[in-house]
Amino acid sequence: MNVALRTTLVATLLAVGGALSTQAIAQDRKPPQVLDLSKLKFQIVDATFVSSLDAGEGKFQETSPEKYRGMVLTVKITKPAGEELTLPCQDLVLHYRFGQKSDVARCYGISAFSTDQGVDRAMRLSAQGNFSSSTGVATTKSGTVFVDIFYQYMEPETHELYLTIAQPVGAYFETPGWKK
């Protein structure tokens, strides 16, 4: 067996072996703040394109409204009545198509929950998107809730939306941390 073939074979075996052991370890662990999607159903019920948004806790003003708009997605969530739900903004990624192309957009804002689709929901905006929204007393009791999610830089020909939520674990690693 020549060296190149042997090197490729060893690298492949290590990669497969490493992936299998990583997956086996990850299956025994439950990552923090990951949603149990078997208990939840998400449905996009509306998409509104905006060039400005006054969210109370932050403002959005598109600087190139001829090229881009912000988009507010209204999402209906069916959940077990009585169970609290927390949605981290970082877990609400939008995959979409515009014209013949596709892209991915991160969440820049999320509203409070409500039990009525037609009400105005208070929203938080952040360039970092590092916050969550949790159900309150009334919305925890309900089996159906609504939430608005904000995305920026949406092209005018945006037409196909896929909301990905708390994607599955692709890898696991344990670190000893660091010390001062």
180 residues of the chain, pLDDT tens digit each: 444 444 333 333 334 444 444 455 456 677 888 888 899 999 999 999 999 999 877 899 999 999 999 999 999 999 999 999 999 999 999 999 999 999 999 999 999 999 999 999 999 998 887 889 999 999 999 999 999 999 999 999 999 999 999 877 788 888 888 888
Give the tokens for residue 163. 């909301």
Residue 167: per-residue pLDDT: 75
Measured between alpha carbons, how far is 32 from 143 in angstroms, rounded to an integer? 23
Q: Which stretches does DSSP call E strand in 26-120?
A: 41-50, 52-54, 56-57, 59-61, 69-78, 86-88, 92-98, 101-105, 107-111
* Cα–Cα nearest to 159, from 18, 34, 49, 41: 49
Coil, strand or helix: which one is 86? strand
Residue 79: per-residue pLDDT: 97
Measured between alpha carbons, how far is 46 from 85 in angstroms, rounded to an integer? 21
Residue 26: per-residue pLDDT: 52
Whether residue 82 contacts residue 138, with contact meaning beta carbons closer than 8 Å, is answered with no
Whether residue 114 contacts residue 120, with contact meaning beta carbons closer than 8 Å, is answered with no
